[in-house]
Chain A
């Protein structure tokens, strides 16, 4: 399958450097301390944050005394893919995703602010259409912001792959992911330009890696813009309703 036509369009009509449509909303649940819903194309995820709170159960032993214990859980709804999923959580894939999710988020959260406490982050994929991990990181960031958890900056993730052996594509859809080529996923802290996680489904040839990576990082920066816009809008709206009107409360001065 040709991922990129001679006219420079991808299978879904995007150009190589174009993201899918991103729509997001903060504060979708009132029960949780923080929540966010995010759509990246047809990939739809829901993230909720509880805490920081006293460590409970087993994690009481795990929690380090000088920083917050971050507990991440990734799951996929049974209806998230075309064929119904048998095990929505706890399978190897989900466990791996949880670990990777935690790695990216811990890099952004100011863990030292909440010693001896625990932070629970639950992310559920409602509909999967490629870039599940990226959407989860991005949604979790919004939920953390909504919860008012102190962060260095946003954690933003984006994927990229290679079309026709030469052109790097940003924000890979499921169709593109499954066409056989290798995919790269990065989670970054886009302002400082740090990379929190990088993963490849297969090896890239060393000639191509730099441009694919660059494209993914560019994508992170673009997504950062969108997320930041959404946060500001959300704060403005909620602020207006409750009379705050200040941005600082959210703990982000970006």
Chain B
């Protein structure tokens, strides 16, 4: 049977198009029920049970299958994910609407459907001749879909009634779950059994905890004030009109980390972020939301408050306060500091996701309403209902936001799942992976099915297709314990006196074919994430640590980049091949260094390394002369206990000559490849650029330099590099490093992009000072490199292209994901170091030398080089307490002073580090001043207090009340 669908669509140019599509209706779509006698179902398609024993409900006390409405899937996916509801029919209408409305929910639904134990059956009602419904004139698409759902439900009831006994307690009926009142009512009028999810879940007999997971979309919570606390949001129509008229602006809301009543909105076309302040100004915007913003008149503009303001720890109910303090601050703001200020008047798109955090149980033992405190400070607390508060209060839990009505101080949400006990390393690791959106589940069977079968052997055919480089003295140089070796090098002298240098990169694209599940998973993950004690692979271990890894003395496929280079490191020519190599040695940086340094050693490997090293030095010198920046970020490594995996010692990462040797050749390979693929694919080459930061970014650096009597010239990368080299202070050897750390923070993020999306002038890599750059050398752990490999393979005719590779828009959106994941991986790595720092300080109190990095209004930001960590030394006491010592803040000079003692940027201080565990659920690293001594403020040094230390520690845990004036926190 055949019908046509006709609809109108607007094209990009604004023309109205009439689109006619064929829509075939079939009579071979089966119902999926084991009890059916009419359908010719194959065994594997019999998804729904013959005898339904699941879903025992007190209200629907007869066997039944469930049919879900779209809104149920969209809003109650957390309920569906629990292993409770079974024998569920998902209509195609619903599936497509979900796919269209929310791809994360769609993916989660698909995961449930794929689990055979859950017995979810997809019924393709849209192509079934009896269940397809045509849209009536005047009917909205939504109403039509609701009708389709009801038609399918009633079809099922009739279809199955013929195949089973009539007695009600044996007869399988259909129950339609819908949260749409209108649909529910219509269904009942048509004689169907329908229910809301809430009523249904409440009636379930053995799933009491399921109620916690119900979404509070409609904002029904018992109790609570009903006075609106927030201004009304504008309607979508009003927002559209306002945007068109230019009265409103659209932008992304970014909450402040430091002050929960402040945020900024990034509006296109405005140079600066627009400030929003206060409960009413923020008007229920949550970090990441796309909001409609109204700019305030210039007379109402304010300055960003310099204070750190945290939402109070207890539950104040539905009232708003705290603004008083900010108001006071505002009044003081000078005119110059004022920034464009606005207020949020509507939400265009929510970017709510699930949040990790802890439960703040209600004071009232009998209450089911509790507050949830997200781990991320930028997210407000969330009110949830749960009956398991006692159990959950010591755990890390996940909560989703459902709604934020005007009458509620906090957004309303529901409990999703518990991760484990607070403070457990595994739990905390899980938290940081979730918080940084790192996909870290096990690779699915489907993904694994695309791995090569073992034993993997190189065939004659493979040798024929590749250049045989097994005879060359190739070796790899990596950090200690590296198992995913993706690069190896060789160097030999040619007869004409030049060198032949090869960089050999694991041929990952040979194993990962475009478009299959393995490829898609790798593209989604985008990068391997390195945590202190854990590695989350981008590709399954068989590839990352075995078949792709260029281990010593085994034959491996490689993608080789081979240059002829003169003794002065000038490239004579460049060649690229797919090859077979056999690495002669997998060395660590230290081992390689030892080989180079050992004068008695003259084997091929040593000679090769020395050649590489001498060339690398020339390359590096040239690069720096060109204006490449040498930046610093404190890098540390934990020595981890082999059994407990707890950190036992912290060491700074050492840099050897060999580190920079490998780096130079990787840079060279990346540049050579970038040039080649751009030449061949000017439109769709995947490249990496590092934009020059806008001059204003450097303001703090210039200011800090000036105060110390150095002029930092930031006009170009080269000048910046030179002025950094000159800024030396003999009495403070760490000064230069700190300046470089500051300079690093002024930089922009380097990003991937498709060459067709930008002008050639914008390709430049600022940090490396080269006009074109890409990533080619780490395909095991970066997806961008896989794409670059495929492009390069196509250039040299070693592999074919495919549609998406040559589509610059597809590449563009891929780059977007890669950039996002990279950023997140970086943050996750840092968070992991933080976590381990906390673990490290659990049983320690230590005095350390630190340096003031920034001076704030109520605190000093202190850098502790030994641990590479930064902490906040609070100078003002927390809210509500009187300071014994009052510091004077001088903004011009960037200093804080008390009496004769003055803190300025770069000044050394001695601080006492310890872990503030007063709040069991939120451990914080605490900094206390030791030197210079300030009576009533500083603490005695560790050496003096050595005997007292044990006592102190006991006190710490037993009586968690510190002297209030000394309570200080470490900001994240």
- Contact of A165 with B803 in the complex, beta carbons under 8 Å: no
- Contact of B800 with A182 in the complex, beta carbons under 8 Å: no
**B309 interfacial by beta-carbon distance below 8 Å:** no
Q: How far is the CA of A7 from the CA of B803 in the complex (A)?
A: 25
Q: How far is the CB of B959 from chain A (nearest CB, A)?
A: 61
With A42-B4, A165-B516 as known contacts, state yes or no: A6 contacts B21, CB within 8 Å: no
Of the four ranges (under 10, 10 to 19, 20 to 34, 35 or more), the interface on chain B belongs to: 20 to 34
Q: Note all chain B residues with C-beta closer than 8 A to A129.
A: 20-22
With A5-B124, A21-B2 as known contacts, state yes or no: A13 contacts B21, CB within 8 Å: no
> Which one, B11-19, B432-440, B523-531, is touching chain A?
B11-19
- Contact of B803 with A83 in the complex, beta carbons under 8 Å: no
**A180 interfacial by beta-carbon distance below 8 Å:** yes
**B515 interfacial by beta-carbon distance below 8 Å:** yes
Closest chain B residue, CB of each to CB of A21: B2
Closest chain B residue, CB of each to CB of A204: B800
**B122 interfacial by beta-carbon distance below 8 Å:** yes
> Which one, B23-31, B402-410, B611-619, B746-754, is touching chain A?
B23-31
- Contact of A13 with B800 in the complex, beta carbons under 8 Å: no
Q: Which of B5-54 contact A (CB under 8 A)?
A: 11, 15, 17-26, 29
**B802 interfacial by beta-carbon distance below 8 Å:** yes
Q: How far is the CA of A252 from the CA of B551 in the complex (A)?
A: 68
- Contact of A42 with B803 in the complex, beta carbons under 8 Å: no
Q: Which of A1-16 contact B (CB under 8 A)?
A: 5-7, 9, 12-14
- Contact of A180 with B804 in the complex, beta carbons under 8 Å: yes
**A229 interfacial by beta-carbon distance below 8 Å:** no
* Contact pattern, A 11-42, Cβ under 8 Å of B = 1, otherwise 0: 01110000011000000000000000000011
B residues apposed to A, CB below 8 Å: 2, 4, 11, 15, 17-26, 29, 92, 122, 124, 126-127, 513-516, 800-804, 807, 810
With A12-B24, A13-B26, A173-B22 as known contacts, state yes or no: A83 contacts B17, CB within 8 Å: yes
Q: How far is the CA of A6 from the CA of B124 in the complex (A)?
A: 10
- Contact of B22 with A42 in the complex, beta carbons under 8 Å: yes
- Contact of B17 with A82 in the complex, beta carbons under 8 Å: yes
- Contact of A14 with B24 in the complex, beta carbons under 8 Å: yes
With A180-B807, A182-B803 as known contacts, state yes or no: A13 contacts B23, CB within 8 Å: yes
- Contact of B22 with A12 in the complex, beta carbons under 8 Å: yes
Q: How far is the CB of A174 from chain B (nearest CB, A)?
A: 9
**What are the 10 A-B residue pairs with the smallest beta carbon separation, nearest first?**
A13-B24, A13-B127, A165-B515, A82-B17, A12-B22, A180-B803, A41-B22, A7-B124, A203-B800, A14-B24
Q: How far is the CA of A203 from the CA of B801 in the complex (A)?
A: 8
With A83-B15, A180-B803 as known contacts, state yes or no: A9 contacts B22, CB within 8 Å: no
Of the four ranges (under 10, 10 to 19, 20 to 34, 35 or more), the interface on chain A belongs to: 20 to 34
Instruction: Pick from A14, A21, A83, A205: contact of B802, CB below 8 A.
Output: A205
- Contact of A175 with B122 in the complex, beta carbons under 8 Å: no
**A61 interfacial by beta-carbon distance below 8 Å:** no
Instruction: Pick from A9, A42, A180, A182: contact of B21, CB below 8 A.
Output: A42
Q: Note all chain B residues with C-beta closer than 8 A to A14.
A: 24
- Contact of A83 with B804 in the complex, beta carbons under 8 Å: no
Instruction: Pick from B4, B18, B801: contact of A82, CB below 8 A.
Output: B18
**A202 interfacial by beta-carbon distance below 8 Å:** yes
**What are 15 pairs between A and B in contact, CB < 8 Å?**
A5-B92, A7-B122, A12-B21, A12-B22, A13-B23, A13-B26, A13-B124, A21-B2, A41-B22, A42-B4, A82-B17, A83-B15, A83-B17, A165-B514, A205-B800
Q: How far is the CA of A12 from the CA of B21 in the complex (A)?
A: 8
Closest chain B residue, CB of each to CB of A127: B20
Instruction: Pick from A12, A21, A41, A181: contact of B803, CB below 8 A.
Output: A181
Closest chain A residue, CB of each to CB of B45: A7
- Contact of B24 with A206 in the complex, beta carbons under 8 Å: no
Which of A14, A205, A206 counts the most B-chain CB atoms under 10 A from its CB?
A205
Q: Note all chain B residues with C-beta closer than 8 A to A21.
A: 2, 22
Q: How far is the CA of A5 from the CA of B106 in the complex (A)?
A: 14
- Contact of A206 with B800 in the complex, beta carbons under 8 Å: yes
Q: How far is the CA of A180 from the CA of B805 in the complex (A)?
A: 11
Instruction: Pick from B22, B92, B803: contact of A202, CB below 8 A.
Output: B803
Closest chain B residue, CB of each to CB of A14: B24
Q: How far is the CA of A180 from the CA of B18 in the complex (A)?
A: 22
Which of A7, A14, A42 counts the most B-chain CB atoms under 10 A from its CB?
A7
Q: Note all chain B residues with C-beta closer than 8 A to A7.
A: 29, 92, 122, 124
Q: Note all chain A residues with C-beta closer than 8 A to B516.
A: 165
Given contacts A42-B4, A165-B516, A203-B800, 7 further A-B contacts (CB under 8 A): A12-B24, A165-B514, A165-B515, A175-B21, A180-B807, A202-B802, A203-B801
Closest chain A residue, CB of each to CB of B8: A82
Q: Note all chain B residues with C-beta closer than 8 A to A205.
A: 513, 800, 802
- Contact of A12 with B807 in the complex, beta carbons under 8 Å: no
